[in-house]
Amino acid sequence: MSEKLFKFLLSEFKTLRVVCKKCKTVVELDVASLAAAGLPYKCPGPGCQEVLPWMGGIDRTNPLQELARAMLALETCKSVEVQLIVPDTGNP
Ligand SMILES: [Zn+2]
């Protein structure tokens, strides 16, 4: 059985689309800004103010910022090119 795959270069991704689980507001964050900015970010949804990302507890790491930093670091990596693979399920 053959399978169609979509391959995307990690370096092609310049924006992260974040959806607030509480109010469903969508926030698009520039990867470079996200890597540099002091976060966490407050959800701009009406009356929401949820901390994005809120990981629970007192963990002060911010996985969104770490992801953005890793993405930028890998863009300049001398030995690998990272691709993301998405299988084509035929569903829109
Ligand atoms: Zn929200």
91 pLDDT higher than 80: no
Parallel, antiparallel or unpaired: strands 5-9 and 15-19: unpaired
Residue ranges covered by each domain of the chain = 5-87
Mean pLDDT of the chain: 88
| Predicted local confidence at residue 52, as pLDDT | 85
Cβ proximity of 15 and 23 under 8 Å: no
Backbone angles phi, psi at 29, to 5 degrees: -120, 130
Per-residue model confidence (pLDDT) at position 89: 83
C-alpha of residue 42 to centroid of ligand 1, in Å: 8
Q: Cβ contacts of residue 79 below 8 Å, gap of 6+? A: none
Peptide bond into 53 cis (omega under 30): yes
* pTM of the model as a whole: 0.80
* Cα 17 to middle of ligand 1, angstroms: 13
For 24-69, write each residue's pLDDT tens digit: 999 999 999 989 986 678 899 999 999 888 777 766 778 888 999 9
DSSP 22-64: TT--EEEEEHHHHHHS---EE--STTT--EES--STT----HH
Question: What distance in angstroms lies between residue 54's CA and the mean position of ligand 1's atoms?
Answer: 11
